[in-house]
Chains A and B, each alone.
Chain A
Amino acid sequence: MVALLKTSISNLKMRTPVLLASGVLGSSYGTINRVIEETLVGAIVTKSFTKEPRNGYPTPIVAYVKSGLLNAVGLANPGYKMLKELLRNVSRNVPIIVSIASSTPQEFAEIAEYAEEAGANAVELNLSCPHVKGHGLEVGQDPEYVGKIVENVKSVSNIPVFVKLGYSDKVVEVAKRAEKAGADAIVAINTIRAMAIDVYAKKPILSNTYGGLSGPAIHPIAVRIVYDLYKVIEIPIVGVGGVMDWKDAVELMLAGASAIAVASAIAVKGLNVINEIVEGIQKYLENEGFGKISDIVGLAHKN
């Protein structure tokens, strides 16, 4: 890969600034290796692992809406004890960031410790799942509680700790508190709590009624939140939310993201969308006369 796309976040070196977001194809080593081999992905964020195995919600777990995708997978995962086998079998050509979902500071730390021992390059604390009670947004909107979780995880971790926050009125305050507690990066945003009703069935489509909205609908919200975060925090930001093409990616970077992550676009365009975005960013940098990724990070803030 050309040097100009090289990115680093905390101590993680990435070949490109385009990450696979948590939740998409990130729970089996076969799919993770396929993403690493078939695309220029910069790093992988795994599906969220919880203490106990979870079957997730009954189907329907997804619904297409006009401007995006709704999902309520329900944190399906085989439990954190499977991380050893997963990490033993994944390609180490790119950093593997293990996403963790939990509801208590102790358990977050316990799983983070295990993930590090299993070979994770970083952990991402999912503090923003919009559709599992006690595992997300409720937790992620309380600055003090987030501070406590991050402090607990940091006290047992030697690898970078990313904190994934969702859309809420308190997102900036929470990010500041996470930074103070030692977080190494903020990942923003998660899907936004939403729902859809089929007009003929006259019922909510998702079995869980509520799900998380992703895709183009939430992109401008992600841009706003990354922009606001960049003004007040020093640690790097990974921008996530409706990145469907290279322009969306560059927009998040101009707002302040050091890297971006892709999810829903894969449902629409397949895995190759990662390469399209990488190539688009590269052309943009060349055409606009920039020598490296960091030249455009937060550029929209400068006069």
Chain B
Amino acid sequence: MRRGRIVKVINEAESIKSFILKVNIDKVIPGQFVMVWVPGFEEIPLSPSLHENSYLRLTVAAVGATTEKIHEMNVGDSLYIRGPYGRGFNLNLRGKYLLVAGGYGAAPIIYALKELREKGKSATYAIGAKTSSKLLFVSEARSIGAKVLITTEDGSEGVKGLITDVIKDIIEEYDNVLACGPEKMLYKIMNMCLRANVKCQLSIERYIKCGLGICGSCALDPKGLLVCKDGPVFYAEELIGTDFGKYYSLPSGAKIIVR
């Protein structure tokens, strides 16, 4: 575990802040995650939105006690980091990329976008949010030369509706889709890509407790895929026939239906 000192705090969107930490960890591949411990609170998995030199950017939505505590933190405060863990996005595939972000799922997506643009690849950034004040990384995506598509559920910016409704008509123009966001969205994208025969990588979420591939908390039946070790990024083909999109395992291991 390494101490990361906060050197900058950025208000990205409503209830979403980025924290830039100076921390000495191995290079994070876009899509990989780190475990972030707030002493006195929990240790949570976060997929960084940037890692350059020894600066790590964590984009955090305030959704629970631990993330709310992080939101109260300022420059000079510390977070405790272990990792990176898991398998990130494969950014070496040929062709055009469509990157799809739902809500704060934009964090690993913007990092992937940046690396793709640095490799000189053509990439579109499609971001969907509930409302315009929750949109993430729109100007950052434009500034690195990506085409940007926006949807909001209330129509306050971009096309009114869901991001999946917009991309379904254009998905065949791309060779690769990368996506991160709510499971229902990812499940739709997975099926779209399988039908359109577009290579698809999805960053998915489960309760990650150990991050080391031993506790089994993040396992996907029936294949026994471990989100912390084999993922969190999976190819669509790997997720076919698994609990993904259907059942979500609670911390006890009991399952609930994905809503």
A89, closest chain B residue (CB): B222
- Mark interface residues in B120-147 (1 if CB within 8 Å of A CB, else 0): 0000000000000000000000000000
**A contact residues around B78 at 8 Å (CB):** 200-201
- Chain B contact residues, majority secondary structure: loop
> Roughly how many angstroms separate A200 CA and B5 CA in the complex, as a whole number?
11
Q: Given the known A-B contacts A28-B224, A31-B219, are A203 and B40 also in contact in the complex, defined by CB atoms under 8 Å?
A: yes
B180 to chain A, nearest CB (A): 21
Does chain B have a CB within 8 A of A145?
no
4 nearest CB pairs, A to B: A34-B224, A30-B224, A30-B221, A31-B224
A residues neighboring B (CB under 8 Å): 23-35, 47, 53-56, 58-64, 69, 71, 73, 76-79, 82, 89, 198, 200-203, 205, 207, 263-264, 266-267, 270
Does chain A have a CB within 8 A of B43?
yes
B44, B219, B220, B252: the one within 8 Å of A76 (CB): B252
Q: Given the known A-B contacts A24-B216, A198-B1, A201-B78, are A53 and B222 also in contact in the complex, defined by CB atoms under 8 Å?
A: no
B124 to chain A, nearest CB (A): 35
- Chain A contact residues, majority secondary structure: loop
- B253 and A203 within 8 A (CB): no
Does chain A have a CB within 8 A of B161?
no
- B254 and A30 within 8 A (CB): no
- A82 and B1 within 8 A (CB): no
Within 8 A of A (CB), among B207-229: 209-217, 219-226, 229
B residues neighboring A (CB under 8 Å): 1, 3, 35, 37, 39-40, 42-44, 78, 80, 82, 209-217, 219-226, 229, 242, 249-254
**A contact residues around B215 at 8 Å (CB):** 23-25, 61-62, 71, 73, 76
A31, A71, A198, A264: the one within 8 Å of B216 (CB): A31
A129 to chain B, nearest CB (A): 14
**A contact residues around B222 at 8 Å (CB):** 29-30, 33, 89
> Roughly how many angstroms separate A189 CA and B170 CA in the complex, as a whole number?
59
**B contact residues around A28 at 8 Å (CB):** 216, 219, 221, 224, 249, 253
**A contact residues around B209 at 8 Å (CB):** 56, 59, 61-62, 73, 76
- B221 and A58 within 8 A (CB): no
- B216 and A26 within 8 A (CB): yes
- B253 and A76 within 8 A (CB): yes
> Roughly how many angstroms separate A61 CA and B78 CA in the complex, as a whole number?
20
Q: Given the known A-B contacts A33-B224, A34-B224, are A53 and B254 also in contact in the complex, defined by CB atoms under 8 Å?
A: yes
- B214 and A24 within 8 A (CB): yes
B216, closest chain A residue (CB): A25
**A contact residues around B254 at 8 Å (CB):** 53, 78-79, 82
